Chains A and B, each alone.
Chain A
Amino acid sequence: MRAVDALMECLKAEGVDVVFGLPGGANLPTYDAFYDAGIRHILVRHEAGGGHAAEGYAKATGKVGVALATSGPGATNLVTPICDAMMDSVPVVFITGQVRTELLGTDGFQEADTIGITMPVVKHSLMIQHPLEIPRGLHEAFHIARTGRPGPVVVDIPQDLSRADIPYEPVSDVHLPGYQPTTEGNQKQIRIAAKALANARRPIIYAGGGVVAANAAAELTELATSDRFPVTCTVMGLGGFPGTHEQWLGMLGMHGTRAANYAMDEADLICAIGARFDDRVTGKLSEFAPRAKFIHIDVDPAEISKNVPAHIPIVGDAKNILPRLTAEYRALAADPARLEEWWSRIRVWQERHPLRYEDSTDSEIKPQYMIQALYEATGGDAIVTSDVGQHQMWAAQYYHFPRPRRWINSGGLGTMGFGLPAAMGAKVGCPDQTVVCIAGDGSVQMNTQELATCSQEGIAIKVFIMNNGYLGMVRQWQELFWDKRYSHVEMGQWPDFVKLAEAYGATGLRLEDKNTLVADMKEAVALDGPVLVDVRVTREENTYPMIPAGQPARNMVG
């Protein structure tokens, strides 16, 4: 059979039911195979849209996403999603076409060194050098993408090799001597961690995207509620612990709550789970959590002690480790009363510094209110994707994600334009769920073309643009730290998003009145097909509270 037909068989064997891509010369054979392979292929309008859609699909479903592109410009258009998937540990297999082997290295038409260009931003990549490598290579790619710390894998296939006639045999085992992720977690270390928790007087659980990736949210709640451990999550971890729980302190970090950041600052023990001490969380590293000892649970040993030295490192899968940690902890029968004092301190912070904003006195929509309204309109349980900027932070603050895989954003790379295609992918993966995108008026313009894809494929996403007419987050920084010298952040009133939506075959709406916002949003969500809603909000509102970059958490402002 043709190598490309074998490729289809591999995709099926991996359980792939949908891929996102766009064809070109170098992957013509692959596209010929798609013609009757029986795998759903979604034709995107830009490869970056396809890449982010595959990420959204993967994040919403927990399965491996697949994105395809041709050689050269097709592949380079995938660089941003590949890097994004790397930073946020998203399992995606990217399959790129490459020029024929005889043209390799000759600057042939549409030749780009895809493997070289993407090397710094992949979990792994492979260039197919013989058609017989295609089946095994593909299975290896899926295996690597999904196991250990998940991430992107690029498979680059020269056009001529994909046309070769090869015998196909299903590959059932993958053997990679240099790749053996540790998942177990050392029992002795787990016991030491349990003891540390039992002895702590001011403990806090700091959970990241790893908890979501490991499908360990229930196990995290078990641990947290085995006593009254306060819990905070990173922007990637939201939903890993219920956002309405009594022990929930809110998100931490640059735009986290004061309660979460102050608790980190004063903690005597921080139990980090699937989190990586990013600078957006630690602020000034040398003054981060000065009194704390650290338990660090992570499947990637390289994250442990990378930024903050761990006293009790535990390498492994959170899903495997957390129940054992909970059991060990329970066996110690620690006295919950020892946490009373800590909680009363935390309650003071929570009461004194709740998330707050000054609401408008007229019909103006405050951006924070927009998120609250959306929370209400969707019953608090939609899959929410977001772009990057102020709206993202407000969404993280005000939409209290009840469970994992409901909040899909670009945290590590901070990719504007992520939200809309990610919503598209999430909706394809979870067709029965309400999928909304909280978009920025700036960000959304980086990938609006995918609305055409949504219309063509009947992908009913609801995109709510928080339209402040600015690259708002940059404007905020210019206001606060650069003497309000607004340099190239004003967007003007273009495009007309309602007309744009209509041009793409979607429904376009404009909402400007706070008083009817919840009802209007409900209606928008209930509409058939893709909907783009231009929500006009206060133009110069700032995202608070905030730890100014490079400063310690204590110095939160706003």
Chain B
Amino acid sequence: MGEPATKEVLSLDELEAAGGLRTGRKHILSILVENKPGVLTRIAGLFARRGFNIDTLAVGPTDDERISRITLTLDGALHPIDQVTKQLHKLVNVLKIRDLEPRETLARELALFKVSADGAGRAEVMQLCEIFRGKVVDVTKRSIVIELTGTFEKVDAFEQLVRPFGLIEMARTGEIAIARGRSET
């Protein structure tokens, strides 16, 4: 039977999603999956269906060609991470999931920034690039493209700083991650 039980009109606030176990921090999940067609669709579909919001998603090969690694980040303030990982585990093509401990994890993303650089700002942008250990990979009279790697937070900080100079466009990969030390992720 359709809900609600009463004919009272619901306010939008009342419709807000119900609670769950929230950790309140960002989580990086490293997921090893079988390299088969449709696996990414299954994962994306699962997230959509259960109302989990993916912040970033990166997919790539691993050292074993039969296996791909999906690294995704999501907000533990919004989602019950435990439920997310359990549901992911139910997918037959998912081999392994690690909810990476922030302190024991190396996370990096790659970003490309196209900044307008026609006037006085040019030198300043180049200087910022240097401080952030970015690389200028394309230069025209009116713009430069900077390549930057780093944590999500570092890339964010750089974005904030160059924005006032005229950020024409930006592309980010989303983080990939690996555990520190000898043991496998």
Contact = CB atoms under 8 A, between A and B. Distances in A.
Interface in B75-105: 82-83, 86-87, 89-95
A102 B42 CA distance: 24
Interface string B150-184: 00000000000000000000000000000000000
A178 B45 contact: no
A302 B83 contact: yes
Contacts of B18: 285
Contacts of A129: 37
Interface stretch (A36-44, A112-120, A188-196, A224-232): A112-120
A178 B34 contact: yes
Contact of A301 (B1, B3, B89): B89
Nearest to A304: B86
B4 A309 contact: no
Interface residues of A, number: 31
A127 B42 CA distance: 13
A302 B49 contact: no
Contacts of A119: 38, 41-42, 45
B37 A127 contact: yes
Nearest to A115: B38
B5 A302 contact: no
Contact of B1 (A127, A178, A179, A473): A473
Given A549-B3, A549-B4, A309 B92 contact: no
Contacts of A309: 21
Interface residues of B, number: 27
Contacts of B49: 120
Contact of B5 (A116, A120, A178, A551): A551
B37 A177 contact: no
B88 to A, nearest CB: 9
B7 interface: yes
Nearest to B90: A302
B6 interface: yes
A544 B33 CA distance: 49
A458 interface: no
A427 interface: no
A500 interface: no
Interface in A284-318: 285, 300-302, 305-306, 309
Q: Which of A176, A179, A309 has the most CB of B within 10 A?
A: A179
Q: Which of B1, B41, B95 has the most CB of A within 10 A?
A: B1
A124 B38 CA distance: 12
A548 interface: yes
A216 interface: no
Interface string B116-153: 00000000000000000000000000000000000000
A302 B86 contact: yes
Given A127-B38, A477-B1, A551-B5, A178 B83 contact: no
Q: Which of A306, A309, A474 has the most CB of B within 10 A?
A: A306
Interface in B1-50: 1, 3-7, 18, 21, 33-34, 37-38, 41-42, 45, 49
Contacts of B38: 115, 119, 127
B7 A144 contact: no
Given A120-B45, A302-B89, A306-B83, A548 B5 contact: yes
A130 to B, nearest CB: 12
A548 B45 CA distance: 33
A109 interface: no
A339 B10 CA distance: 43
A300 B91 CA distance: 12
A124 B41 contact: no
Q: Which of B18, B34, B38, B49 has the most CB of A within 10 A?
A: B38
B49 to A, nearest CB: 5
Contacts of B4: 549-550
A35 interface: no
Nearest to B67: A177
A318 B38 CA distance: 33
Nearest to B85: A302
A159 B49 CA distance: 31
A483 interface: yes
A177 B5 contact: no
A144 B92 CA distance: 9
Nearest to A473: B1
Contact of A481 (B5, B21, B37): B5
Nearest to B87: A302
A549 B1 contact: yes
Interface string A475-490: 0010001110000000
12 contacts: A119-B41, A144-B92, A178-B33, A178-B34, A178-B91, A305-B82, A305-B83, A481-B7, A482-B7, A548-B6, A550-B5, A551-B5
Given A305-B21, A474-B1, 11 more contacts: A127-B37, A176-B92, A178-B34, A178-B94, A179-B92, A285-B18, A302-B83, A302-B87, A473-B1, A481-B6, A483-B7
Interface of A: 115-116, 119-120, 123-124, 127, 129, 144, 176-179, 285, 300-302, 305-306, 309, 414, 473-474, 477, 481-483, 548-551
The 5 A-B pairs with the shortest beta carbon distances in the complex, nearest first, are A549-B5, A302-B86, A178-B95, A124-B92, A179-B92
